[in-house]
Amino acid sequence: MLDFKIIELSDKPWIDSLLKLSDFRGCEYCFANNMAWRRMYDTKITRYKDFYISCSESDGVYFTFPAGTGDYKDVFEEMKKYSEEKGSPLVIGSVTPDKFQLFSELFSEGSYEITADPDGWDYVYNSSDLAELRGKKYHGKRNHLKKLLAMDYSYEPLTEKDFDDCISYAVHTYNRDSAYDDRSKVCEQFAINTYFENFCELGLSGGVLRVGGKIAGFTIGERINSDTVGVHIEKAEALIDGAYPAINQMFSQSVSNEFRYINREEDLGIEGLRKAKRSYHPTFMIEKHIVKFR
């Protein structure tokens, strides 16, 4: 049976090698993301032949579509055995429409069902769009940005000298804005600390925005595949007009020569987050579905 473990930094070389084989663009196919959010989703990982498999057991057994290469029928059967041992049906998430035919070829009609998971769809943008903010559709963003640019501001690539200030800023916003029992925000703080504690080892990049010498925002990103970078964390001071558009644009400018696309991840069904992500006019969505076996 599959033997799962908690993800550790030492797993990065072999996981990265299998992720590279698939070249998936979804935000769940990043080592740092998996490691940083392991507490939120009770994520466990394993290697089966040339597949990287991750699953959550916070509410039954829930697999992410495996990355790597090999016999999918074989790996799905192993995943099914594991689920059944745990008393759960086989459930596989992050299944994009291009994978539907694979399931129809391997399994009989009626043995599984596919449902859309729109709260988990990733927003993907042309990096040049976010870097340049050209055209009528970005008029409002440019207006907010002008207000920030008129201030005493600075933007620099995120380096070790900024870590303590950024962590302190994240704690400040958490204490100010979060309910005491908001588990998702607690896990976000854990993720932020994980990113900063292992920043270089995880191969992360980012930027820090200051206004009047004080932190006004920071962002952390990671290469997802050959043409896409993912934005894992973006914090900015809501009380400073233009801070969010500034940190977004300035980081996008720093990566646009290397990456064609920027994945700004999902909206989790949160209306305010959905509105904000749509306001930047995604080039396309990564449409994820859940396959549940009967």
Mean per-residue pLDDT pooled into runs of 10, the chain (294 residues): 96 98 97 93 95 93 98 98 96 98 96 98 99 98 98 98 96 77 84 97 98 97 98 96 98 98 97 97 99 96
**φ, ψ (nearest 5 deg) of residue 36:** -70, -35
CATH 3.40.630.30 fits 9-120, yes or no: yes
Q: How far apart are CA 241 and CA 141, in angstroms?
A: 11
Burial of 86 (0-12, 13-18, 19+ CB in 10 A): exposed
Q: Is-contact 222 232, C-beta < 8 A?
A: yes
The predicted structure's pLDDT at residue 103: 98
Q: What is the DSSP letter of 94?
A: E
Instruction: Provide the terminal-to-terminal Cα distance of the chain, rounded to the nearest Å.
Output: 20
Residues 6+ apart with CB under 8 A from 261: 25, 124, 125, 126, 127, 227, 228, 229, 283
In the DSSP assignment, the letter for residue 229 is E
CATH superfamily of 122-265: Gcn5-related N-acetyltransferase (GNAT) (3.40.630.30)
Which phi and psi angles does 102 have, rounded to 5°? -60, -45
Take residue 80 and report the two structure tokens written for it.
């099914």
Q: What is the pLDDT of residue 40?
A: 82
The whole-angstrom separation of Cα 67 and Cα 26 is: 11
Spell out the domain ranges in the chain: 9-120, 122-265
Same CATH fold assignment for domains 9-120 and 122-265 = yes
- What's the Cα-to-Cα distance from 134 to each of 16, 131, 139, 221, 249, rounded to whole Å? 35, 9, 8, 23, 11
Q: Assign residue 28 a region (left: φ > 0; alpha: ψ between -120 and 50; beta: otherwise).
A: alpha
Please say whether the beta carbons of 79 and 93 come within 8 A: no
Cα separation, 56 vs 154, whole angstroms: 40
Cβ-contact 231, 278 below 8 angstroms: no
Q: What is the pLDDT of residue 180?
A: 58
Write the CA distances from 148 to 34, 136, 211, 239, 256, integer angstroms: 34, 20, 8, 11, 22
Token look-up 């009626």 returns 110
Would you state the pLDDT for residue 181? Answer: 64
Outline where the chain has alpha helix (H).
Answer: 12-22, 31-36, 38-41, 72-85, 100-106, 127-132, 139-149, 163-177, 183-197, 243-255, 271-278
Per-residue model confidence (pLDDT) at position 179: 60
